[in-house]
Structure 1
Amino acid sequence: MALEKATSFLSSLLGGGGAGDGEPAATVKSIIIYPVKSARGLEVPQAPITATGFRWDRQWLVANAKGRAYTQRVEPKLALVQVELPPEAFAEDWQPTSDDHMVIRAPGMDPLKIPLAEEHTTIDEVSLWEWSGSAYDEGAEAAEWFSAYFGKPSRLVRFKQVSETRPTNPDYAQGYKIMFTDCFPFLIASQGSLDALNEVLKEPVPMNRFRPNILVDGCYPYSEDLWKTIKINNLTFLGVKLCNRCKVPTINQDNGIPGTEPTETLLTFRSDEVLRPSHKNNRQVYFGQNLVCKDSLSGKGKGKIIKGLKKLSGGADHMKICSDLNSEQTVTEFREGDGLLGSLVMSMAVPPKSQVAPLALAKEACASMVSGWKQGPEGWMESQSAPEPQA
């Protein structure tokens, strides 16, 4: 009986069926695209895959007079900028015409229309984090609009794919590339993780604080942290690094006002101080998992569609792991251990209010999952903190 419970628990943890029917437990609940970096997301029913992530995701950014990118870290008013794209823009193989526009809105501003098919002049010395290069300038009207909104000289630019390449960190994802996203092509988070966090917050927060591309439901809280391989619509995604969070989750996306939560609460159970006490940056917190699409390297995934409400298949062989369980070991006993592995089970694997304890869960089983999950030069959660952009 204990082995069956452990099998069900690990199955749900890894995204597999928990009822022994072989069906995936987790589903894609929402797909969110962020056409303009740090502006509001656009929830869509489906999205095509490209070599740099979902189509239209972070193709544009707003830059200051020196070409440096704005983000909500330094310009929280970006949270109030809304973006609209034609519904057909997310259909497979759709190409824009001269009649198709991206529409941008913000409080106190008239709508701004940006042609999707037109390429403007190129400007040099645009920079975002470690990258600098050339980009398409979206013109004087867009520059005047954003300059008026921010109260200082600003320009809207579009990533110039024909000449520019921005690779991901090769320590975590060799050979992949992105446009104006921070680090990796995709970010996944689960509704279960948000629900668990909101149980301990004084005031609940919505998922838009964490800005995922793929929102899943039907799995245990924080189980997405341990997913190595995820299959959606026959496309293979790889989990490459937990997402270390900046100050953006503390910014209210409805009014652009920053605060201290949920980061202050996450520090108590999702920080390096808890998960890796020996790590020097012990105030870093984690929520969500960065992904790459394996099929994008070969071109097999180009143009393929990811749809909402699709079931996920976890890549770990949980039945094989469970076959080695020692029924005398329990979650409670395991949580008494010290170090990274014990903290992981306490903060990620156990649902709110310890609903599953005590379940049989051998340390060897979880150790095999985590040991195979290490990425990067210093481990699976290693943070490569980028410098703050200068406004």
Structure 2
Amino acid sequence: MAMEKAASFLSSLIGGGGGGEPAATVKSILIYPIKSCRGIAVPQAPITSTGFRWDRQWVVVNGKGRAYTQRVEPTLALVQVELPPEAFTEDWEPTADDHMVIIAPGMDPLNIPLAAECATVDDVSVWEWSGAAYDEGTEAAEWFSAYFGKPSRLVRFKADCFPFLIASQVPTINQDNGILGTEPTETLLTFRSDEVLRPSHKNTRQVYFGQNLVCKESLSGKVKGRIIKVGDPVYVLQAFTSSNEAPA
């Protein structure tokens, strides 16, 4: 019964996936240049072969190269990032005069050149991924080390490593003050937990949060001129009645 309710709920959200009509429209687009820091609301975003351009291209790591997340460093939520507005238009390429600006409470603004060449560092890891990345230099390292009070560095991925993500705006970290809380996790567990969606599996109190979205054109790498805009329709190409039927 729990699975039937969950399937019915999801079906109502996506419009049943039939009839050729859009299941939804893009309500907003948020780009997160630095993973786990504040996002930038934009009216449109160019598509690269693995996701939105500029989305999660940078990450702050500790002295061992392990990425910070808001679960570990909640005050990442207070770090604001600014990019030139034209960065979200087609075919734009940065020049030596273009920067990413990083702002945080109690800190002077930090400017990161978008077109500068950087040294490579190895042993950077984010969740299951590990590999090499570009080091954004001493000034950025000192800035983030001062902000967190421990050795930290800002690195940039050599290529976009994350796909598009469809998700509700319900983070556990309070985005206004950077304080860790229990909500909305406890509420999400009542209808998005493995106990509800995968009752035949061992219950680990895991929340199934958001869905990765694949743009068909991006799979071939032929993505020049592709942009997703607020208001674009979203179609369901295939629907499943339960998580057990979905491909792993």
TM > 0.5 fold call: yes
Is 1:276 the counterpart of 2:198? The answer is yes
For 1:49-68, what aligned pairs fall within 5 Å after superposition?
Answer: 49-68=47-66
Equivalenced residue count is: 238
Alpha-carbon displacement from aligned partner over 1:184-235 (angstroms, at most 9, x marks no partner): x01113xxxx6xxxxxxxxxxxx2x3xxxxxxxxxxxxxxxxxxxxxxxxxx
Alpha-carbon displacement from aligned partner over 1:1-54 (angstroms, at most 9, x marks no partner): xxxxxxxx879623567xxxx653521111111100110111111111111200
Q: CA RMSD in A?
A: 2.3
Looking at structure 2, the residues matched to 62 and 289 of structure 1 have their Cα atoms a distance apart, in angstroms, of 24
Give the superposition deviation at 1:138: 0.6
Looking at structure 2, the residues matched to 272 and 11 of structure 1 have their Cα atoms a distance apart, in angstroms, of 19
Give the structure 2 partner of residue 338 of structure 1. none
For 1:159-178, what aligned pairs fall within 5 Å after superposition?
Answer: 159-161=157-159, 178=160
Alpha-carbon displacement from aligned partner over 1:227-264 (angstroms, at most 9, x marks no partner): xxxxxxxxxxxxxxxxxxxxxx3211111111111111
Answer whether contact 1:16 1:26 (CA < 8 A) is retained.
no
Is 1:313 the counterpart of 2:213? The answer is no
Alpha-carbon displacement from aligned partner over 1:77-120 (angstroms, at most 9, x marks no partner): 11111100000001111100001000000011111000000121
Give the direction of change, closer, same or farther, for the CA distance of 1:62–1:273 in structure 2 (3 Å limit): same
Q: Which has the higher contact order (CA 8 A, sep 6+)?
A: 2
Give the structure 1 partner of residue 37 of structure 2. 39
Which of the residues 85, 88, 91 maps onto 2:86? Answer: 88
Looking at structure 2, the residues matched to 149 and 135 of structure 1 have their Cα atoms a distance apart, in angstroms, of 22
Give 5+ residue unaligned stretches, structure 2. Answer: 1-10
Give 5+ residue unaligned stretches, structure 1. Answer: 1-8, 162-177, 195-206, 210-248, 317-365, 377-391
SS of the equivalent of 2:206 reads: coil
Q: Which amino acid aligns with 2:33?
A: P
Answer whether contact 1:102 1:115 (CA < 8 A) is retained.
yes
Q: Which amino acid aligns with 2:147?
A: Y
Looking at structure 1, the residues matched to 75 and 28 of structure 2 have their Cα atoms a distance apart, in angstroms, of 25
Give the superposition deviation at 1:303: 4.2
Give the direction of change, closer, same or farther, for the CA distance of 1:155–1:288 in structure 2 (3 Å limit): same
Identity %: 75
For 1:81-160, what aligned pairs fall within 5 Å after superposition?
Answer: 81-160=79-158
Give the structure 2 partner of residue 13 of structure 1. 15
Q: Which amino acid aligns with 1:186?
A: F
Answer whether contact 1:187 1:290 (CA < 8 A) is retained.
yes
Is 1:251 the counterpart of 2:173? The answer is yes
Answer whether contact 1:40 1:79 (CA < 8 A) is retained.
yes
For 1:347-386, what aligned pairs fall within 5 Å after superposition?
Answer: 369-370=241-242, 374-376=246-248
Higher CA-based Rg: 1
Looking at structure 2, the residues matched to 139 and 91 of structure 1 have their Cα atoms a distance apart, in angstroms, of 28
Give the superposition deviation at 1:275: 2.3
Give the structure 1 partner of residue 70 of structure 2. 72
For 1:280-319, what aligned pairs fall within 5 Å after superposition?
Answer: 280-316=202-238
TM-score (norm. length: structure 2):
0.87
SS of the equivalent of 1:14 reads: helix
TM-score (norm. length: structure 1):
0.57
Give the superposition deviation at 1:67: 1.2
